[in-house]
Structure 1
Amino acid sequence: MKVDGMTFTPPVSSLSRRALMMATAAATGLTLTGCQAPKAKTAASTNGWDDTLADLHRRTFQWFWDVTPPKTGLTPDNWPNPDFCSVAAVGFALNAYCIGVKSGYVDRAAAAERTLTTLRTFWNGPQGPQAAGVMGYKGFFYHFLNMGTGHRHDTVELSSIDTALFVTGALTAAGFFDGDTDAEREIRKLGVALYERIDWTFLERDNGLISMGYHPEPGRQGHDDTGKIIRSWDRYNEGMMVYLLGLASPTHPIKATAWDAWAATIGVTWGANFGEPHLGFAPLFGHQYSHVWYDYRGIADAYMRGKGIDYFINSQRATVAQRNYAIQNPGGFKDYSGDVWGLTACRGPAYVKGKVNGREVQFFEYSARGPQSGDKEGNDDGTLAPTAGLSSIAFSPEICTPLIHTLREKYGSDLYGEYGFYDAFNPSFPKDLPSRSGHHTPKAGWVAYEYLAIDQGPILSMLENHRSGFIWDVFNRSAVTGPIVQRGLKLAGFQGVTPAGDWLKGGS
């Protein structure tokens, strides 16, 4: 298909984290063959949906339902050690409640009550310039919140991306709960109001980019005189959703040129690394978070029209690249293969050095992992995260579904527990080295103790998008949220480039 005189390649058909962000901007690559345009609306295929995927889907939903306090809706960052609430986690939880109703896991009235409680907590939480005793400022929220009070945890930043992840979940709830009960009407009202309260211009910089965040404490390193973090959302990553939300705002929109300012920074990561060319970002979460909500199939901005693909295909390519990398396994790590792969931000065994096949390796605890280049160590210490491949199932089910089966069959209960897959594992981590974050197991080697909310969330939502396209349909095309999404995309210059993108022709 040709758009603006350029050939566009449709996507392959279905066959079957913040401080780290500031230091991570590597390019990756892959191999991808075959092409077929998806259907116009819910192109996600149910091919390959089986008992294994269904069990993971149910367990991952149950994690959000069980660990989130029903009186506040403040979903913890991790479990079973809930130190603080993660604002982004709450956005994924709001998705989960909608999915739970659709799947019959929870009664609609109970899910609406939990959702409404959550939105009220965030709407009524104190906002202001103070350094303590507040939940946020200018409509934004602090990255982590105290589980008891809902106020800022420690001295964390006021976060643009975590606010975006929260509010997309809030808007999804507003789009889904379309009933005529008092609770559902209030959900719609608060979901939209929370979005419209955000003053996106507060974090807008003179160069048109959006700052990653703000601290009220003066004189912090890496901040300007106003307290904004100097590092902005540039290059290709999940930050694109911040721009789309900011552009669409009817109350505090960013400049119309903001998307072009961002797009001018992304080309440096385009290249071939382990396969077909794509915009690179080493850990897979950067290729997934925005796609949990935004349906990029068959639509493209000026940059992607120039490349003849869309951002969905870009994420397909990044996914296949990671599998290619694992097959090549330049680091010589144990168990890497075409059926065991996946690098992203996740828990790790320890900040310690150890030997792998006679080679000294620097291991990490929490880190944003991604493919290393050549023989350089890069940020790959042999730690694999199930969420990396599982959350890409909507892009590449032909390789992600076998991954899910292999992880279950090969590692069993070492890696799979009450709420699905534990956050990460490392078969190469030496047994004689201690770890505070996990334990050694007979089959999987080192395994994390915890489940992380921002890794659980994409697993559930992308499983559902693969199965039915549900989150994509609600967020992009519901009566409440569709006009918001379409306004942002059009202001960013997106156009439909295959029949899958015809829905963008409507709306404002």
Structure 2
Amino acid sequence: MSSRKPIGEAELERLQHQSFSYFLHETNPDNGLVIDKTAPDWPASIAATGFALAAYPVAVERGFMPRAAAVERTLTTLRFFWNSPQGPEPDATGYQGFYYHFLDMRSGRRAWQCELSTIDSAFLLAGALTAGIYFDGDTSDEQEIRTLADQLYRRADFQWAQNRGATLTHGWKPESGFLKYRWAGYDEAMLLYILGLGSPTHPLPEESYAAWASTYRWEHCYGQEYLYAGPLFTHQLSHLWIDFRGIQDAFMRVKGIDYFENSRRATYLQQQYAIDNPLKFAGYGRHCWGITASDGPGPGTIKLNGIERQFFDYVGRGVPCGPDDGTIAPWAVAASLPFAPEIVLPALDYCIHQAKLTELNPYGFKASFNPTYPVKSVNPYGWVSPWHYGLNQGPIILMIENYRTGLLWQLMRDCPYIASGLQRAGFGGGWL
């Protein structure tokens, strides 16, 4: 056990600031689009762009960026999405108020024949709504931010995205129509459903939420009873915006907890899994955990000490059911800070000071590391991802802020659409 004091406010702020630098430097100033990852010729991610929109208010409050600069960036981004081509053409930017998962950084049109993504559009719209509430000034620019954020949200046709089913589909492609997958099981789609239920123009029917919640799995493992979702990020992303403390839907009323407590239990389960380390990976332990969707050293199979180990590249790692190949994602630890600071702060301290995962990295943590994977590395902690991802940077900034001041939660409590969506989903009590 280290006798160091866990990291304090100054180091949390440094990590926030480093992580925010990604949005400062990896955004196209002409359209506000944020690159998905720091690889050459990579496209923008609409989810990362939504995280950037939510992070600009934090940056203003923390003094990372002047308000005027944040207004300019936000306005550029919202204008781009409002004016970008919407239609069934295969090279549009979006359709029915939703947007393609990946967009060309320069033209802003669909990249890689990717899908029109319901969940990534939800992150983008949540970011826009955050901006609309935060920028409340009388200037014409701030008024325009509010108008555009509202118009973008009102344009999304959530009923269309159901494709005549009870639940929401994952998305749509102009070449083949709706994807066959629907949102089922507890996951980050909570935010998508709340936004859909709260829509003043194309609202989801209330029974769509009940249909989604009927696919939940309540599990008992590693000493925790909780609503199961494997990757740690699924217990975090809706919580970036929504304060679930003290509010309950029908499912949680029966269980006697709320979704915030559920995420706390999922965080502890991650730590306990790493302590037990059933697959005997190097490094796992009390301060080294955080298994989620992340970059990895694979794909490939290698024999190590007589054991065949399969390694993956980017995959949705999870516990306790896997996949797990020994890859740890420090960003996912940071994003659990509001739920369990008593175990998260020592784990962040380990990642920063022992594993030295922020050293020489302009944007804080690299995506992930794997001490089991055999690699000649300057880092004694093994393989480290060469990339930063916008999807990882956003939750670090926003959840550190929610832990410190609750800024995002306060802003979104003032969003009538979120309150209405929660109420239509059957949430009550607490701040509602």
TM-score by length of 1: 0.82
Q: Which residue of 2 aligns with 1:181?
A: 139
Amino acid in structure 1 at the alignment position of 2:70? A
Amino acid in structure 1 at the alignment position of 2:422? L
Contact 2:358–2:365 (Cα < 8 Å) also in 1: no
**Pairwise CA distance, 1:355:** 2.6
Cα distance in 2 between the residues matched to 1:158 and 1:413: 34
Cα distance in 1 between the residues matched to 2:289 and 2:94: 38
Deviation sequence 1:444-467 (CA, Å, 0-9, x none): 210011101111111110000000
Contact 1:414–1:443 (Cα < 8 Å) also in 2: no
SS of match in other structure, 1:257: helix
Deviation sequence 1:109-168 (CA, Å, 0-9, x none): 110000000000101000001112x10000000000011100011210011000000000
Deviation sequence 1:354-387 (CA, Å, 0-9, x none): 13442111101111111244xxxx3110111111
Contact 2:50–2:125 (Cα < 8 Å) also in 1: yes
**Pairwise CA distance, 1:416:** 6.1
* Within-5 A mapping of 1:335-484: 335-373=283-321, 378-412=322-356, 417-431=361-375, 440-477=377-414, 481=415, 483-484=416-417
**Pairwise CA distance, 1:494:** 0.3
Amino acid in structure 1 at the alignment position of 2:138? D
* Within-5 A mapping of 1:107-126: 107-126=66-85
Ranges of 4+ aligned residues in structure 1 off by more than 3 Å: 413-416
* Residues 1:288 and 2:230 aligned together: no
Cα distance in 1 between the residues matched to 2:379 and 2:88: 51
Within the candidate set 15, 34, 47, 1:88 is matched to 47
Amino acid in structure 2 at the alignment position of 1:442? N
RMSD: 1.5
Amino acid in structure 1 at the alignment position of 2:179? I
* Residues 1:326 and 2:326 aligned together: no
Contact 2:163–2:178 (Cα < 8 Å) also in 1: no
Q: Which residue of 2 aligns with 1:19?
A: none
Contact 1:211–1:228 (Cα < 8 Å) also in 2: yes
Q: Which residue of 2 aligns with 1:169?
A: 127
Cα distance in 2 between the residues matched to 1:142 and 1:306: 38
Cα distance in 2 between the residues matched to 1:493 and 1:381: 39
**Pairwise CA distance, 1:206:** 3.7
* Residues 1:271 and 2:230 aligned together: no
Deviation sequence 1:444-491 (CA, Å, 0-9, x none): 2100111011111111100000000001111122xxx2x111110100
**Pairwise CA distance, 1:350:** 1.7
Cα distance in 2 between the residues matched to 1:413 and 1:163: 31
List alignment gaps of at least 5 residues for structure 2.
none
Within the candidate set 98, 119, 134, 1:140 is matched to 98
Q: Which residue of 1 aligns with 2:423?
A: 490
Contact 2:7–2:349 (Cα < 8 Å) also in 1: no
Within the candidate set 186, 199, 203, 1:236 is matched to 186
Amino acid in structure 2 at the alignment position of 1:388? A
Amino acid in structure 2 at the alignment position of 1:259? Y
Cα distance in 1 between the residues matched to 2:256 and 2:378: 46
Deviation sequence 1:23-82 (CA, Å, 0-9, x none): xxxxxxxxxxxxxxxxxxxxxxxx974222121011111111111121110000011435
Structure 1 pair 414–105 and aligned structure 2 pair: CA distance change class (3 A): closer
**Pairwise CA distance, 1:259:** 1.0
* Residues 1:192 and 2:140 aligned together: no
Cα distance in 1 between the residues matched to 2:158 and 2:97: 9
Cα distance in 1 between the residues matched to 2:359 and 2:237: 23
Structure 1 pair 411–122 and aligned structure 2 pair: CA distance change class (3 A): same
Cα distance in 2 between the residues matched to 1:92 and 1:414: 21
Cα distance in 2 between the residues matched to 1:158 and 1:69: 21
SS of match in other structure, 2:175: coil
**Pairwise CA distance, 1:413:** 5.4
Cα distance in 2 between the residues matched to 1:413 and 1:316: 25
Cα distance in 1 between the residues matched to 2:305 and 2:142: 58
Deviation sequence 1:311-336 (CA, Å, 0-9, x none): 11111100110000000001111110
Amino acid in structure 2 at the alignment position of 1:116? L
Cα distance in 2 between the residues matched to 1:170 and 1:462: 18
Q: Which residue of 1 aligns with 2:159?
A: 201
Within the candidate set 179, 197, 207, 1:247 is matched to 197
* Residues 1:215 and 2:173 aligned together: yes
Contact 1:348–1:365 (Cα < 8 Å) also in 2: yes
Deviation sequence 1:403-447 (CA, Å, 0-9, x none): 111111112257662110100000110127xxxxxxx33322100
Within the candidate set 111, 117, 125, 1:159 is matched to 117
List alignment gaps of at least 5 residues for structure 1.
1-15, 17-46, 219-226, 433-439
Contact 2:56–2:70 (Cα < 8 Å) also in 1: yes
Contact 1:415–1:444 (Cα < 8 Å) also in 2: no
Structure 1 pair 347–98 and aligned structure 2 pair: CA distance change class (3 A): same
TM-score by length of 2: 0.96
Q: Which residue of 2 aligns with 1:308?
A: 256
Cα distance in 2 between the residues matched to 1:273 and 1:370: 13
Identity %: 45
**Pairwise CA distance, 1:294:** 1.0
**Pairwise CA distance, 1:337:** 0.5
Cα distance in 2 between the residues matched to 1:465 and 1:137: 33
